[in-house]
Every structure is written in C-alpha cells, then in structure tokens.
Structure 1
C-alpha cells in the first residue's frame, strides 16, 4: 500500500496534468476528476488508519422476486440467520394530509393496515418466507432485528416503538402512548429508528418532531436523552441509527442537517458519552436517510435533496470523518429510505419508497496494490 507521501505526490501530479489540459476538459469532467481523486485519497487514508479494506457494494441484479401488494418500504433489517426483514405500508401512503399541525394522525378512523406489513425474505431468491403484522400498524417506519432475534418496530402514526420477541404476535415492550404525540419522557413523536446493543441497551431516534435520541436499558428504563446540556449537538430529524460498539459511538443519519454524526454511546460508562461527536458532512452528502455499520465503516444512503446532489450510497469512515466511496445500482436510486447489513457482513440491503422495492448488494472487498 502506498504511503501518505506517495499519495500526495500522485494527487499533485494529477492535478498538474488537469491544469495543463483545461482547454480540452469541460467543467463537468473536471468536477468528476476532483471527486474521484478525493474518493481515492480518502480511501487510502482510511485504509491506513483502519488497517482493513472497505468492501464495496455490488448489486445483485434481478433480486428479489416480485412481491405482490408491496407498499412503501420504509424499513429493512436482517435476522441473525441472515434473512432480510422489511417493513412496508401496504396500500397506505404517507402524504401531506396524514398529520395535522399538532402531529396527530388523521387516519385513525381508517383502522390499522389489514395486510401483513412485516415480511421476511429469502436471502437467495427474495421470495417471501414469512409475514405478520396485519391489523396492527397504522403507518410503519423503522425495523431493527437485534442480536437475539427480537424485532423492534416504529410506527409514526401511533407515535410508538414496539419490541416483539421471536414468533410473538403481541409486543413485549412498548414505548410511547398510542396516538398521543409528546416531548416528555413517556411520550414520543413520530419515532423513526432503533439500535440495540449486544449488552441490551436500546437507542430510539425520536424522530420527526422531537429530534432527539432516547437511551434505555433492556427493561425499558430511561438512561439518557441526547442531546443534553452541556452537549453541543443539535439534531434535525434523526432518521436512522447505526451502533459501532467497538468504538462506543452511535452514528445518526441527521437528515435535515445533511450529515452523519456519531456521538459517544456510553456503553462503557459515562466517560464514553463525553467529547465531541465524530461528524461527516460534505457538500455531496445531502439529506441522509439511513446508516448501517460494518466494522469501522458506516454505509449510508441519501434521498432527494437538490438537482445538484445525486441520490446514491456512501461509504464512510467515522474515525477519519471522511467519505471514502460512492456507490449505487446500475439503474440508480430514486428515494432510498433505509439500509441494513447482514450479521456476517456479506450483504447489504436498501429499502426504497417510490418505487416501492428492496435492493440487495454483495459486499465485495476492494483489492489494493501493495
């Protein structure tokens, strides 16, 4: 692997070449060139700091099989056995009339979604191998399957988060009060996502209205609200969560701040909650909807932001506060909403809204020259 001095020399020489060929290069080509150079440089520096490779997502073309009646796919996770789980809205659509000015859901009288909203897919074929959740949820959002196979689901209409043990049809834990948005310690307001530590601590992104993170112990007792004075961290719609336990940080898709920020998770005591958050914020990152962790890397997807910012995937290294790669399927993304990585790190899934679908990518390691 090249050293830092070699990398900087290569960058300098390439930029010199570009400067000499301005007459033959358009502004668009120059922008692409600078972007590629930046990615290459960040990639090399990241590898030196992390001591490993950054696996690049490679699309599995033709996956999954068609899923009849699939609605807006708001969430995706992966079970311990490697089978992906998606959370979708069936015939229901979240639009401008779904909530009033006080954040109360306007479709209560329509009742819960009748069709099964939680689908387990075969990781090889994408066929539906299990489904449940019909007659319970009103407006699905996030899904997380933890290390023990418990399924955590967030419903923005009910302003609640649910923990379902494996095979259970009724929740074991419920956070928030049904259809009652609020900002206290007992209520939530449009919660978006959940992250669960192997030790049992639970992080809830509370979400569209409150823009905060709540940390609970495994029994559901509140431990911490983030941010909290004197913490200098302002969130605007924390939309996705990824826990890097070995670094003791929680990475947040801070959507409207157009960044990924990783404050201390405090899994090793209060000392781990101190210090400034690691933050990745670049002009092309846009509104970040989802994050997922693999080793020391975080994978992210943005959504529609502006005509100048492409919708795509990103590979980040929080320790370097850098984007180290960009990726997307051959046909491109339209409106990705969530992503997840399987426990063994071999596959990545992206859930998308409009068109309603789920993508599968193989995480193939890059090969570098020594």
Structure 2
C-alpha cells in the first residue's frame, strides 16, 4: 500500500511538472533581450498554490517566491540555481500580494504586503531571511485609511529605497501612494481616487529609479505615473503603451536602461525604454515577451547582479526565470 501511494505521488509530481512546463511557451516581438531558463527551478512541482510575488537577493543568490493557498507554505526560498532551500510555514502571513528584498548588502530583510481579511491582514510585514517576523506596519486585521495609527486596506506593494525611505501603494480602496521616512513618519502622500494627475485607480506596483523618480503602475487607469521622490510632485504619465492591458508590475533593469512591466490579462512582459534624467516623454516599447494564454504574470523582480528576470505567475501557479541574451546589452 505504501509503495502504491508513493508511485501515485510520483506520478502526480511528474504530471504536475509536465503541466507546469506546458506554460513555458512564449514568443518575443521587438528586440530579443531575454530567453527562458527552462531548468529553473529544478522541481517546479514544489509550487503548490497561486504564485503572486517574487523577490531576489542578488548578493546571497536567493529567490523568494510568495504563494497563496490553504495549508501550504506561503514563501518558498530557492537558490538562483533552482534548488529549494527553505519553505516558510508561517501562520502570520495570510494572503501575500507584493514582496521586496531590502538592504541586501548588510542586513537583508523581506517585506511582504498582506491583503488577507483575517486577524493578520491589511498589513505590511518585515521578515528575516529565514522567515522570522520582525515588524508589522498597519493595524492587523483592521482595514482603514488612518495615518495615526497607520492603517492600510489591501496594500499592493512596497519599495524600500537604499536610504531606508519606504514607498507603499495602498490598494483599490484607499488608492494611495505613501512615502514614509525610515522611522515611519509620513513624508508625502497622494490619496485621491480618479483619473486626473496624481490620482489613482488601483495603484498596484511602485519602483524608484536612480534619478529620484517614483514610478507607479496605476492599474485601473491603464497607465504609469511618475513623481519626484523628494517633493512628491507629479512629473508625467505614460498611457499610450497600455491600450490593451494595464501595467501590473514595474521594475528597472540593473543598468536602468529598461523598465520591465508585467501585463496580467494579455499575458505579456514588456520592456520599455527608461527615459534619462529630466525627461519623461512618451513610453516606447523595446521588447515584448508574450507568454502562454493562461499564465497571468503578476509581479516581477530582477537580479541586480546578473540581470536575470523572475516572473510570478498566478495562472500557471509558478515562477519562471528569464536570462538576458549576451548580445542584448541588458
């Protein structure tokens, strides 16, 4: 009986592996900058839920993958070679949404936004690299818009600058972009729902470039908005590249030549030309990775050392790794 169960488990694992790899089909239009690494991870059947987010520690060669589901580890930790190193069976994380690896060079920590409706939800949590809960931002289990005490309502994503300053996009209810100091004081905020300048409808992802500009994927408005990171002043908006589908995720390649955007409903990863300092202009598509129809890419992250691109895919229930083509100059 035990042998039979083992055989059934292995067959299930193999079929899961095959099903996962069936989502690997993709096409590239425009300039070819990346190719799929079909060997990562080594055991894709280890994904057991809906994969929502990914974060990379480029100095320690760690890839963190957040997934949702009942009675499953919420975070899987892989090496950049694809080996599973750890699984977090933490009860403090309900429904992970966004994830960010901060301070990789000294004391790395992992920040995760939790959009759950239970006693731990509506918060942003800071974890050690091994899964120890270090700090909670927000009021656990209490959705709200207060700044004192700090509250969130399904916070989407967080970005921690090297200065320690914190940027948070707070969901489709509050529709807020908040900048916090390292000691959690509100420095500036935009918190008005709408389609006008500095208004949001479902802000979903945030990133800061080397020129003190904050880039926000304004998903409901099918655009990216840009702000001065010091003053919070509105600098510009890109919408012409997103007629068919909204931007879900936004990250920069390590050299900051390109902006990497995930588009969930059209199953695309789009690379846009990043504008130089002082110029926002119009968006320009350089390359598009068209994934299989049901993959649903949600959030992405890049290895700041190798430029490898990792994609969290809700529909496929997996994370995939794309590596830069040597001649692409990524």
Which of the numbers 86, 90, 99 marks the counterpart of 1:134? 90
SS of residue in 1 equivalent to 2:152: coil
Which of the numbers 76, 92, 96 marks the counterpart of 1:119? 76
State how 1:266-305 maps to structure 2 within 5 Å. Answer: 266=230, 270=231, 273-284=232-243, 286-294=245-253, 295-304=256-265
Tell me by how many angstroms 1:330 deviates.
Answer: 6.3
SS of residue in 2 equivalent to 1:263: strand
Change in CA separation of 1:89 and 1:275 when aligned onto 2, cut-off 3 Å: closer
**Richer in strand (by share):** 2
Change in CA separation of 1:365 and 1:205 when aligned onto 2, cut-off 3 Å: farther
The question of 1:58 aligning with 2:14 is answered no
Would you say the 8 A contact 1:147–1:198 is kept in 2?
A: yes
Tell me by how many angstroms 1:205 deviates.
Answer: 1.0
Which of the numbers 204, 229, 234 marks the counterpart of 2:199? 234
Deviating 4+ runs (over 6 angstroms): none
Which whole-Å deviations, capped at 9, do the CAs of 1:259-282 have from their partners, x for residues lacking one?
22222211xxx3xx3352242432
State how 1:82-93 maps to structure 2 within 5 Å. Answer: 82-91=61-70
Would you say the 8 A contact 1:75–1:86 is kept in 2?
A: yes
**Distance across 2 between alignment mates of 1:342 and 1:211:** 29
Tell me by how many angstroms 1:288 deviates.
Answer: 1.5
What TM-score do the two structures reach when normalised by structure 2?
A: 0.77
Which of the numbers 208, 227, 236 marks the counterpart of 1:243? 208
The question of 1:161 aligning with 2:124 is answered yes
SS of residue in 2 equivalent to 1:256: helix
Unaligned runs of 5+ in 2: 1-28, 276-280
Tell me by how many angstroms 1:76 deviates.
Answer: 0.5
Change in CA separation of 1:223 and 1:211 when aligned onto 2, cut-off 3 Å: same
Change in CA separation of 1:192 and 1:344 when aligned onto 2, cut-off 3 Å: same
**Richer in helix (by share):** 1
The question of 1:342 aligning with 2:303 is answered yes
**Distance across 2 between alignment mates of 1:323 and 1:117:** 36
SS of residue in 1 equivalent to 2:133: coil
**What is the number of residues matched between the two proteins?**
281
Tell me by how many angstroms 1:326 deviates.
Answer: 3.1
SS of residue in 1 equivalent to 2:235: coil
**Distance across 1 between alignment mates of 2:216 and 2:111:** 17
Would you say the 8 A contact 2:241–2:285 is kept in 1?
A: no
Change in CA separation of 1:261 and 1:317 when aligned onto 2, cut-off 3 Å: farther
CA RMSD of aligned residues (A): 2.5
Tell me by how many angstroms 1:75 deviates.
Answer: 0.6
Partner residue in 1 for 2:143: 181
Which whole-Å deviations, capped at 9, do the CAs of 1:324-347 have from their partners, x for residues lacking one?
323326646621111000121420
Tell me by how many angstroms 1:198 deviates.
Answer: 0.5
Partner residue in 2 for 1:325: 286
Would you say the 8 A contact 1:152–1:194 is kept in 2?
A: yes
What TM-score do the two structures reach when normalised by structure 1?
A: 0.70
Which of the numbers 312, 316, 332 marks the counterpart of 2:272? 316
Which of the numbers 50, 53, 58 marks the counterpart of 1:72? 50
**Distance across 2 between alignment mates of 1:327 and 1:183:** 37
SS of residue in 2 equivalent to 1:282: helix
**Distance across 2 between alignment mates of 1:281 and 1:84:** 33
**Distance across 1 between alignment mates of 2:153 and 2:167:** 15
SS of residue in 2 equivalent to 1:328: strand
**Distance across 1 between alignment mates of 2:183 and 2:127:** 13
Unaligned runs of 5+ in 1: 1-35, 41-54, 92-113, 305-309
Tell me by how many angstroms 1:174 deviates.
Answer: 1.6
**Distance across 1 between alignment mates of 2:61 and 2:200:** 32
**Distance across 2 between alignment mates of 1:75 and 1:354:** 13
**Distance across 2 between alignment mates of 1:216 and 1:324:** 32
SS of residue in 2 equivalent to 1:67: helix
